[in-house]
Amino acid sequence: MMFVSPMISGAGAEKPTSEKAGSGLFWLLFFAALAAALIFIQLPFRVVMPMSADVESHYSVQSQSAGFLDSRAPEGVVKAGQTVMQLVNPDLQSERSLRESQLQMSQYAYDAISGTDPAGAIVAEERLRASETHLSLTNARIENLTIKADHDGYFSPDYSQIAGTFVPDGGTIGAVYPNESQTFLVGSFPERYVEKFQSTRPETELRVNGAYMPKEAVVSFDLIQTVSMDRETGARSYQLSLLADGNPMQINDANIHVKLIFPSEPLYRHVQFLVASLVQKFREAKLRQN
């Protein structure tokens, strides 16, 4: 507005030739300076992303058998082998009773025929071994209803699961954060920066609860190629995996952000990038409407 308002205010008035020449020279110099700034001034690309402990890949505790939640350990420090959740499954108990009956019948059949019919004894023995295997598998599934911590750490349960909640096989029931010196973090990475990440190696700045961590706090980081679709916005995003110094027990619920700083580029590249991002958002919005 500082440059445009003088033009608007004097649009209807006739100006002397000298003033017109001065105005033309001014705009010539202005656009020349603007072009020079766009070409020669360089600024880095920056993107800030919230991060959290990578529960799914490293810290989650999952059920090995489907069942209903019966009891759960309170949030806090746990030891390796300590029970953190107990499930119950009446169907598995009924299946075990059936398998035990089948095993008993197979044993009777084998004992009755083993001394009189060698050929029939072979078939009976195979059935006996199959019954033993089925019972063993059922017992293993029942044992898996008792979920234990694999290592010492801090247990953080999923409070959305209350008593009586059905937990499927492989369902996540919480997380156990180990007492270690490094933490695996993960965050959603914007798709528009993927090409820059793959072509250049950005610098990182890590903040925990607003405090900047030392540069060496970021041990390593990489981009996970798995692409997910955001159901609300329709925008695709990648996952940034990061290994940082810090105890998972202490920073698992902290406010963590990482800033990626890419190499500096001319201002016109920033303008091109902004326009391309706006076009992409417009197309995503149109796709959501359709």
Residue 284's CATH number: 2.40.30.170
**pLDDT of res. 192:** 83
Per the DSSP assignment, residues forming a β-bridge with 83 are 148
Query: Which range has the worst mean pLDDT, 106-115, 126-135, 148-157, 238-247?
Result: 106-115
pLDDT over 80 (residue 26): no
Q: Are 163 and 236 within one domain?
A: no
Q: What are the b/e assignments for 163-174, b being 16+ CB within 10 Å? A: eeeebeeebebb
Number of domains in the chain: 2
Give domain status of residue 39, yes or no. no
Give domain status of residue 108, yes or no. yes
**pLDDT of res. 43:** 79
230: helix, strand or coil? coil
Residue 134: domain span: 60-175
End residue of a domain, out of 175, 210, 238 = 175
Q: Are 163 and 184 within one domain?
A: no
Q: Are 139 and 234 within one domain?
A: no
Q: Are 67 and 171 within one domain?
A: yes
Query: Which range has the worst mean pLDDT, 60-69, 102-111, 174-183, 236-245?
Result: 236-245
Q: Are 199 and 275 within one domain?
A: yes
pLDDT over 80 (residue 238): yes
Give domain status of residue 280, yes or no. yes
pLDDT over 90 (residue 96): yes
Q: Are 124 and 202 within one domain?
A: no
Give domain status of residue 131, yes or no. yes
CA 154/CA 147 separation, integer angstroms: 15
Give domain status of residue 194, yes or no. yes
Q: How confident is the model at residue 44 (pLDDT cuts 50, 70, 90)?
A: confident
Burial label for 198, CB within 10 Å (0-12, 13-18, 19+), is exposed
Q: Are 51 and 186 within one domain?
A: yes
CA 18/CA 91 separation, integer angstroms: 97
- Contacts of residue 236, defined as CB under 8 A and 6 or more positions apart, other chains included, come to 191, 227, 228, 229, 230
pLDDT over 70 (residue 143): yes
**pLDDT of res. 100:** 92
Give domain status of residue 104, yes or no. yes
- As a residue count, the chain comes to 290
Q: Are 229 and 151 within one domain?
A: no
End residue of a domain, out of 146, 175, 204 = 175
Give domain status of residue 91, yes or no. yes
Calculate the average pLDDT of the chain.
83
End residue of a domain, out of 175, 210, 228 = 175
Q: Are 190 and 153 within one domain?
A: no
pLDDT over 90 (residue 265): no
Give domain status of residue 16, yes or no. no
Q: Are 126 and 206 within one domain?
A: no
Compare 288 and 179 and report the one with higher pLDDT.
179
Q: Are 150 and 137 within one domain?
A: yes
Q: Are 82 and 159 within one domain?
A: yes
CA 163/CA 86 separation, integer angstroms: 10
